[in-house]
Amino acid sequence: MTPLPVTRALFDDVMVPNYAPADVVPVRGEGSRLWDQEGRDYIDFAGGIAVTVLGHAHPKLVAALTEQAQKLWHVSNVLVNEPALKLARRLCELTFAERVFFANSGAEANEAALKLARKYAADHAGPDKREIIAFNQSFHGRTLFTVTVGGQPKYTEGFGPLPPGIAHVPFNDLNAFAAAISERTCAVIVEPVQGEGGVTGATPEFLQGVRELCDRHRALLIFDEVQCGNGRTGHLYAYMGYGVTPDILTTAKGLGGGFPISAMLTTATIAASLAAGSHGTTYGGNPLACAVAGAALELLADPGLLAGVRRKHDLFMDGLRQINGRFGIFRDLRGQGLLLGCELIEPWRGRSREFIKAALDQGLLVLVAGPDVIRLAPSLIVPDELIQEGLRRFERAIANLAAPSVPVDEELAHAAR
């Protein structure tokens, strides 16, 4: 019997329709390029939604995975394993943390952080200190708890009743935050750079003010660095660039360079509230994921790589400004490191997804951050020449979509395939 072909159409026949993937089916990746079933290549400025921080099939990650796969895959958390302990020790060495909890996704890390915060408050202040403050347009995951904490109502519609005791205030509005926090607040969770919410960075004054108010009200400060961590901003973790240290930090996405793993980092005093049996996960901290993440972390912690992220940021921004100088389609260009947002002008607001298709037609993968912002989150080691080529393809996509009558120079036309 001849096997049926595996095509995009098969998705509609066998998968739950909660995604709407593009028609392209990638089959191979190397560095900052992908190839589809027809052999067409794509420059990857999406990075699997800020995950493949070291590109596709990085040889050191492949080696770490292959070596560990021949030794030990899974034992569960009834036993410890060497890769998990080594990774936890290294995370503690490189950050403020003294204790680490491993899980599989950003949502799970945030779930653990929020549960820990409530448990710590219950242990030290009693049952009335249980309220959580988050920020409008934030995103913290898709579990019922984390999607409720996230500040985007569209993700909670139809899933009620929702967990209580959660309040939202405007991002970067210290006065509004000061009015909301109280002695009942057990935790505040914030993304130093909001990713899904539009690639909007917190101001240093805002984060410092939040830190001071948390201290005053004995509330734990949680930094969600699922997307903006792991070198993405040009610092190993974004809090380092701000000079504001949280009580709990969550990390995922780039931590495994594409292999699913997440971590919650905190101090020994706070971690003590998650006593044996209080929280857990079957796969979290498995040897395969931790071996890959250990290899990735050593590369990401290299000061030379981090300096390269900051330099490549300037290269991207220069190119995006040149594109905007020609087409005038972006209201704002923003971001840190290699997490970049291009906010569309009024006539194009609500239409960011059209640019995904236009870019894909030119052999380029980009993302959106809501309906009004195009998001770029490439590999942190994307070569300069691919940045230039990718921006040429991006310009061609914009020309075809926004100004089809504007002539495109010969070099740009050659870049479009």
Annotated catalytic, 314? no
> How many Cβ atoms from other residues are within 10 Å of residue 232's Cβ?
28
Catalytic annotation on 23? no
Options 224, 259, 372, 394, the catalytic residue: 224
d(CA 111, CA 103): 10
Nearest to 290 by CA among 86, 59, 62, 89: 86
Cα distance between residue 310 and residue 302, in whole Å? 13
What does DSSP say about strands 248-251 and 220-224: parallel, antiparallel, or unpaired? parallel
253 has catalytic annotation: yes
Strand 193-194 with 26-30, pairing: unpaired
Give the β-pairing of 26-30 and 248-251. unpaired
Q: What is the 3-state secondary structure (H, E, C) of the chain?
A: CCCCCCCHHHHHHHCCCCCCCCCCCEEEEEECEEEECCCCEEEECCHHHHCCCCCECCHHHHHHHHHHHCCCCCCCCCCCCHHHHHHHHHHHHHCCCCEEEEECCHHHHHHHHHHHHHHHHHHHHCCCCCEEEEEECCCCCCCHHHHHHCECHHHCCCCCCCCCCEEEECCCCHHHHHHHCCCCEEEEEECCEECCCCCEECCHHHHHHHHHHHHHCCCEEEEECCCCCCCCCCCCCHHHHHCCCCCEEEECHHHHCCCCCEEEEECHHHHCCCCCCCCCCCCCCCHHHHHHHHHHHHHHCCHHHHHHHHHHHHHHHHHHHHHHHHHCCEEEEEEECCEEEEEECHHHCCCHHHHHHHHHHCCEECEECCCCEEEECCCCCCCHHHHHHHHHHHHHHHHHHHCCCCCCCHHHHHHCC
User: Catalytic one among 44, 253, 330, 394?
Assistant: 253
How many C-alpha atoms does 115 have within 13 Å on its Cβ side? 16
Q: So which residues are the catalytic ones?
A: 139, 224, 253
